[in-house]
Structure formats: structure tokens, C-alpha cells
Structure 1
Amino acid sequence: MFCRCLGFVFLLSFPGQLLGQIPAEPCSAPQLDGGFLVPEQRSYLHESSLAYACNAGKKPAVEGWWATSVCLNGLWSHIPQCIDENTCFTPNVPHGKYGESPDGLWYKDGSVIRIKCDEGYKHKGWGVTATCKKGAWSPLPVCERSETSCNEPPNIPHAVVLHKYQHIFAADSEVRYECDDGYSMEGANARKSIFCVSGTWKDVPSCTISKHSPGNGDTTGVIAKPVDSERGRGGANTGGFPSRAPGNPRETGLESTSDKDSTISPLITDVDNCGPYPKVPNGDVVRKKTMSLRYACNGFYKRIGPETVVCYNNGSWSQLPTCKEAYCQIDLDEYRHYSLQESGTIILKERESKKVQCIWTFYSSLITCTKGKARVTPCCHYLDHYWQRCY
């Protein structure tokens, strides 16, 4: 009894050691050339902060004449640094891009950048460049919306746009609409492209119910593909149908286009006539109509085969889709030499990406999943223009 109590006291006294918790590391005092720290110590505890300022002719590496930094588990939120006071910081140009500095995060006195406006935007006035002069930028170019650009495409009932969403589209942009199952555009097409012309989307289509679509109540002349299943085989003189099974064309009122043709394909009928809905591993029915079922795969799987399944009046189902794995599983412990802050296993969907913080401030690694294979990049600056260079 005494030993049990002693063990309980030991558990309460040292829970961190038993659970494998590692105490946060302190930070060493940063080396600051051309400035001074407050308070000035040999080391700083986790989550403690310091302030610093720079001598004449220099300034902190962040905005302001003084700056603060925080110790986070052995690393500073930003490394205190004093730079030349005539250096310019990275400018913010809404809806515009420019080249990166060859010197890192700052631009030397006299540096010139050229602004390129995003698609759908144009330069306001004639200025397209800016110059760093004694720590400040000359008036930065402004990117304003072009009068020839278009807003997002119109919302059409029963349709989606096959393009990633964005607010502004440049002139001559093309987007394609696709109608929902059972709907079509002019000419019985399910897809149509429209174009941005002088600020307006031209020839916007509409999706209307197809004349002979399943679920429209009109099954006349709707011929399905022939099937070969034990359930659908009848006698020699039945034309492929069971002689008295539910779903016989004479019982349902769905007359074939030629009763005299014994080789005619079975017709589509109400999905409830085929009994329980087919099961698709890692997938499920996401929408039920009178004449069709729509399947979708789980989040980490990709559909292969038809999206829509119908019931034939011989009691069989049309071809089912399959759900194929579409994800990557990455063990970050295998990339310790990349100096990542995270560890363990992560799972990404197909074409998904994730940034993982590195042990250095302003550095991250990009992990992507493409065709079931993961790609882990070395650590790099996570500012946009640096990511473009590194990846």
C-alpha cells in the first residue's frame, strides 16, 4: 500500500518527465553590430522579449527607429540586426509585382524596381518604376482596374464554371460553363465557353432541362447500353427480359421502340426498381433522382468511371465508378536534415500543398502531392517573390 501511494506522489511530482515533455529552450544573446539591446543579458528565457535600437547611420531591420524581438524556444522571432539607414524595405504595391532584391529582404540606396500589374489591372498614369532614395521609395506606381476587365462570370442556375474563382478577369479571358446532369445548353451541349469583351461577358448561355433526360418524366426512346448480368438474363423468347419480373416493359408501361426486335437494349427505369443501391468502396451516393444516382468519392480518393448510375428495367445497374487513392502520406521525420519545426506524419490530398515552418525565421518548406507522390523542398524564404525563385 505504501509503495502504491509513493508511486502516485511521484506521478504528480514529475508529470512532464513521465509524459516525455521537453522544456522550452532559452535564447542566446544576439550579436548586434551597430546597436544596443535592452535588457542586455547573456541569455533570455522562452517567450521573453528584448528591445533594440541602432547607432547613427543605421536603423533596425524592421520598420521603426526601434524594434522588439521575442525568444521562441531557442530562436528569435526575428534576428535583431542594424542595416544602413539609406536601405529601403520591400514595398507593398496592391495588384502589382516586381523583381526581388539581389541583396535579400532590402534594397540598397539607388535601387530601381519595375512594377508589373496583375491581369485585369493597368498602370495609373505613366509611371512604372520606383527608386530607393535615402531609405524611402520615390512615388510607387499604382495599379488600377482596367476598364476592359470583367467581374466574375454571371451565376447561371444549374451550371458551374470550370475555372478557379477570382474577382477580376482580364480582357479576352475565357471561361467555360458546364450544366448539371439532366440539363443542356443550346444544341444539346453541356459545355460552352464565353469571353470577356470590353468589360462584359458575351453570349452567356443558360441551362435548360434536356428533352429526354432521365428524371424529366420522358423516357420515350431512351435506350441504354446492353448489359450482361445474371440478374438481367431471361428465357430464350423474352428478348433479354425476365418473363414476369418487376420492371418488365409491359408492366411498367415503358414500351420498347420495336417490340418485334428481340435484341433491343433494356430501357432506363426508376432507380427504386433495382433494389438496394450499389455500394462503392470509399464512395457514396451524394444525390438521388428518380432515374439516376450520383456518386462521389471520399476526400482522399478520386473517382474513376461514370459519375452517374442508372437502373435498367431488366433489374440491373449500369456500370459503377471506382474510387482510387488520391493522397500522399509524408513522414516528416525522414526529412530532419531539412531543419523542419514539425515532425510526425501528414497526409495531403492530390494536388494539395502545405507550407511547413523551418527552424529559421522567415523560412519554410513547401510540401506538394502530385500523382500520389510527395515532394518536399528545402527551406526557403516564404515571401512570394522568393517562393517563385526557390520553387
Structure 2
Amino acid sequence: MSSDDSPPLDARHTVPERTDVLVVGAGPGGSAAAAYAAAAGRDVVLLDAATFPRDKTCGDGLTPRAVAELGHLGLGDFLTHRPRIDGLALHGWGAHQLVRWPSGRFPAYGSAVSRMELDDAIRALAVSRGARMVQGAKAVDVTMTGDRIAEVVVEGESGRTPIAVDEVIVADGVRSGLGKKLGREWHRETAYGVAARAYVPSGRADDHWMGSHLELRGPDGELLPGYGWVFPLGDVAPGPLPLSGGLLNVGVGALATAKRPAHMALRPILEHYAAMVGDEWAITGTPQLLTSALLPMGGAVTGIAGPNWMLIGDAAACVNPLNGEGIDYALETGRLAVELLADSTDHTTRWRDLLVEHYGLAFSAARRLAGLLTMPQTVPALGRPGIRSARLMSMVVRVMGNLITPDDADLVARAWRTAGRVSTRIDDRPPFS
């Protein structure tokens, strides 16, 4: 579609009567899927309950793997004037390590962009390629013909409207309302996350490092099973984000399981953490736009596909159990889902098998380790000696950044895959099962 023929990017289109591919949710995964499907010549409708630009609880950090996926999608230039993040500045138990992103298949740098800006940019790309955007409308139900979705019922300002579909990609986030209608179930016996983030003005917003504090303590000094982060966002121009100037994303995340739930008030913990790093990061104001969320992790869901539908991204619990990162998984699963559309007429088992192939071993090992970290005594036992080893921290950053690929044959990669195979064999419920 030429730019002259493109619909206004922010128009609220009425719900069409039918489409080849309906993508529910316009976050990074859903919008990427819509962009890929539209580029492949499919008639695509991209649906979201929000009106864009909209905010989203997120650390805003982009790993090198996410940077690579944005380049593959066609948005490499989008990061040109965004922060270049060379690695992680790790802190804890009186020690400090600067760990660069490892070089290899992926770029040797990451970046950081607010989700309000990132999501809107990917959504706009999908529309520019021909996807029809419907904003302010929520997918609330389905009509089945046999075991296939025939229609998705959409609720908007004018009431409920059915849209006939051939294929559905469900990318409606951590709670996945449509996924639940289709049988999706989140299992909390393995590690999940709770997180909060805010924005603060800073004189170090152009820094080249992501700060990460592995020793997270509450206002009362209690050691918590989680970590704190600081991401430089650069000099943010007035625009979709209702703040501007030099900004940081500052946040805290904690791990929990059904047996060891995280009973903690995130706002005071985040405010305490922001004050703790205030001098180091030249913070000049109080936290703003504080939001929080629950995060299903490590493929801890079942019911992720049917004959003509697939769940992707957060809806499929494609989130790293060690740090809560999900943007790269969202972008990848959006791409993989559209690739599967081209050669599959029944996605029920093929989509699960594909996700297991790509993420199963790593998710199993990572969520088992994350489960250990929900026990207070484990955190200092592993963290205190670990933070003092540059080599070990480099390995940790590589794992946390999802930077080990099936083609990697070095000792760390082989050891991580072996840990995954052992973990999967003893899992009561393997990823995506």
C-alpha cells in the first residue's frame, strides 16, 4: 500500500465483517504479527481495546536479541537516536560488575524505548503495510464451527459486533481475556513475576549502561526475592509519553510461586529503590507514572493453540523467568506465528511444538532457578559469591538476555542446554504443557 493510500494511523475504524487474519492485541508481538502478515499479502485486522498511543507496564529495555528482531521487522532506523546500551552495571552485596553484552550472532548493544512509543511505532508500521487497525474495541467472545473459530465477537462503542475470521493470533497480554475463552490456563506452581516501574528525571539519561541491583531490599531493610533496575531513556522529546527531558525508567521486580506468593507493596519498595540510587543516577525528581503488573513466565500456560488460532508473546507466557523480559519473545513469536500460517492448516500441536523447540529447554531451566530464588536464604547464598565473579556474571547476562542460540556450541551454551534437558525431564509440567 502506498503512503497516499494509507489510512490515517490513528483513525478508529469500524469493525469489518470479516478478515483473513485477526490479530487481537497491538503490543509488540501482535503488531509485529500484523506487519508480517500484511506484508505477506494477507487481509489483516489489528484489534486493541486501547486507543493509541497508550502506556504499558514495562522495563522498556531492549536486549540485543530484541534489537535484532526490530531490524528484521524493518524498524532498525527507529533506534538510531535512542540510547545505545552496551551492557549491564550489576550491583549487590558490596560488589559491582560492568558486563558488556556478548558479541556473536546478535548486535553487541541493546537499547531502551518507552512502550508508549515502541508499541505505537510497530502498530504504525503494520498499518502502513496494509493492516486495518480497530482501536477502542475488545475481543470478548468467539463463535465456533466445530473446533475452529468462525467469528470473534468484538465489543466497542457501538455494542457487540461479530467479525468472521479465517485465522486468529491472540496477543492480548498477560491476562489474555480471549485466551481464557479459548481454554488458556496459567499455572502458578512455577515462578512468576510481580513488577512495578516509574519514570524519573535524571542527569544520566544518556548513559550507556543498564543498572541492575541484584540485592533488592525494602524500606525496612528486608531482603526481597527480586531485583531493581534503572534504564536510561535518553533525552525524551515531547510526544506520546506525557513526560519529556532526560528520563530514566526505574523499577523493581520480585519472583513468586503459588507456594511462596509475593506479598509486598510495590509502590513503597520502588520509591525506596529510586531514592537509594538517586545520587548514583543523578535523579532530580520523584517517580512518575508508576504502574505495576503480574507476569506469567517460562511458558507456564496450557491451551496456547487450536486449529486456527495461536497465542503469542505474554499471552503464551513467553517471558524470561530470570528478569521478566518479554519484548524479544513477543517480536519473535509474532514472526514465527505468521510463518506457521503459510504451511499449517491445524496449529493445535504444531504451535506448541514450535515454542517448545525454540524456548522449552531454556524456560524450564530458568524457571527452576527462579523458583530457588523465591526462597530468601537462596538469594544471598548465590548472589554474594556470584557478583564477585566477572566470568560468572557474564554467563548470567548471556542467559538473562536470551542470547544463547541453538547454533552456539561453546561450553556455556552446551551446559545451559544440558541443564534444560535435565530440568524438563523432572518437570511436573514442562513449558507449554
Shorter chain as denominator, the TM-score bin is under 0.3
Query: Hey, which of these two has a bigger chunk of helix by percent?
Result: 2
Structure number with greater Rg is: 1
Higher relative contact order (CA 8 A, sep 6+): 2
